[in-house]
Structure 1
Amino acid sequence: MKTPMAVFAALWLAACNPATPDTAASTPDASPAGPVAAPPAAAPASAIADDPSAVNQAIDEALGDHVRYEAVIRQLQQAVAANDAAAVAALVDYPFATVRDGQSLKIADAEAFVRDYDRIMTPPIAEAIKRQRYSELMVNYKGVMFGNGEAWVNGICRDDACKNVDVRVVALQPTS
């Protein structure tokens, strides 16, 4: 099993280092036996960008069952898009702490979260969540990151052996 950092590094390197064409294949007469067949056509960029398999594998390896994480991620995006404070609050791990306007904000439960929803879910945070493509999520041992860190989802251990895990929103924070 790869370490979380190895998975992150592989994903990061793959995203930052696009494949370069093989120089021998790019020149038709490079082979002494004659012309070289053109390489097979690559998949369209949009098909690659929409492929969640790398994110699912990273979640499986670093955090656990990607199906549980994907469900919470999709629910969070839908709830934020609908401006449904109660649905978002149901996904958060409590007690919840964040910082707003330079001051610590502590939220004890879902009821308090709903009351302070507009203060917690600022427009830049909501936009980062709504615009995040699943296939472009960043995954590491700290969880799944939206945008530039405006939101994080992670598993919360509910027993000493960490066999019982709840996937929850663990951070909603401004990044600038």
Structure 2
Amino acid sequence: MKKLIATPMVLWLAACAPSAPEPAIPVAATTAAASADAADAAGTPAPATPVAAVVDDPSAVNQSIDDVLGDHVLYETVIRRLQQAVAARDAATVAALVDYPFTTVRDGQPLKVADADAFVRDYDRIVTPAIADAITKQKYSQLMVNYKGVMFGNGEAWVNGICRDNACKDVDVRVVALQPGT
């Protein structure tokens, strides 16, 4: 079994060993690296690697999805599409990602949604501003993964695999919950 060391632990270990090589910098931090090279050429110390760039590494979440739910590529594709569609207020794309029939609760009452057309009609009642914020502001690297699926925020949205055969070899990753957070 392969053991993972959490990114903050790697950073801590690197800080404790001054002669150790610096951790790899993700692609998102290459701009900072370029400015550091320019600073080195001028003889000034290079700025520290931005912690946010290192912390946003999706590998731990992907490993959790692989271990608990299955192929992380399927989940990551749906998660990123959901975030983009909600940010764009693209009701049809969000509706296409949902598992039907879909039930949620609004104003203390069950709201049953039979299909994508009904979802689009009730989009603003289903994807409230609080739910939209939870989805769009969620960092992929900070998603919570368990046997119930992948959770956004405080439970405002859940994505999970729907078994399409008895052996659950054919899985369709869908949005399975959109609800007020806890």
- Band the TM-score falls in, shorter-chain normalisation: 0.7 to 0.9
* Counterpart residue number, 2:135: 129
Provide the secondary structure at the position in 2 that maps to 1:94. coil
Provide the secondary structure at the position in 2 that maps to 1:93. coil
8 Å Cα contact 2:153-2:181 kept in structure 1? no
8 Å Cα contact 2:100-2:113 kept in structure 1? yes
CA change 1:105–1:21 in 2 (3 A) is: closer
TM-score computed with the length of structure 1 as normaliser:
0.78
Structure 1 segment 2-21 matched on structure 2, within 5 A: none
* Counterpart residue number, 2:78: 72
* Among candidates 120, 140, 147, match of residue 114 of structure 1: 120
Provide the secondary structure at the position in 2 that maps to 1:88. helix
Provide the secondary structure at the position in 2 that maps to 1:129. helix
Once the two structures are superposed, residues 93-146 of structure 1 have per-residue CA deviations (whole angstroms, 9 ceiling, x without a partner) of: 001011010001111100110011000000000001000111111111111011
Once the two structures are superposed, residues 136-164 of structure 1 have per-residue CA deviations (whole angstroms, 9 ceiling, x without a partner) of: 11111111011111000000001111011
Structure 2, unaligned runs of 5 or more: 24-48
Given the alignment of the two structures, is residue 50 of structure 1 paired with residue 63 of structure 2, yes or no?
Answer: no
Structure 1, unaligned runs of 5 or more: 27-36
* Counterpart residue number, 1:38: 18
Given the alignment of the two structures, is residue 86 of structure 1 paired with residue 92 of structure 2, yes or no?
Answer: yes
* Among candidates 150, 161, 171, match of residue 155 of structure 1: 161
Cα distance, 1:18 vs structure 2: 5.6
Q: Indicate the structure whose relative CO is greater, using CA pairs within 8 Å and at least 6 residues apart.
A: 1
Instruction: Report the aligned-residue RMSD.
Output: 2.6
CA change 1:97–1:19 in 2 (3 A) is: same
Q: Distance in 2 between matches of 1:20 and 1:77?
A: 29
Once the two structures are superposed, residues 51-81 of structure 1 have per-residue CA deviations (whole angstroms, 9 ceiling, x without a partner) of: 1100111111111111110000010001000
Provide the secondary structure at the position in 2 that maps to 1:57. helix
- What is the count of residue pairs matched by the alignment? 155
Provide the secondary structure at the position in 1 that maps to 2:154. coil
Provide the secondary structure at the position in 2 that maps to 1:38. coil
Cα distance, 1:41 vs structure 2: 6.5
Q: Distance in 2 between matches of 1:116 and 1:106?
A: 10
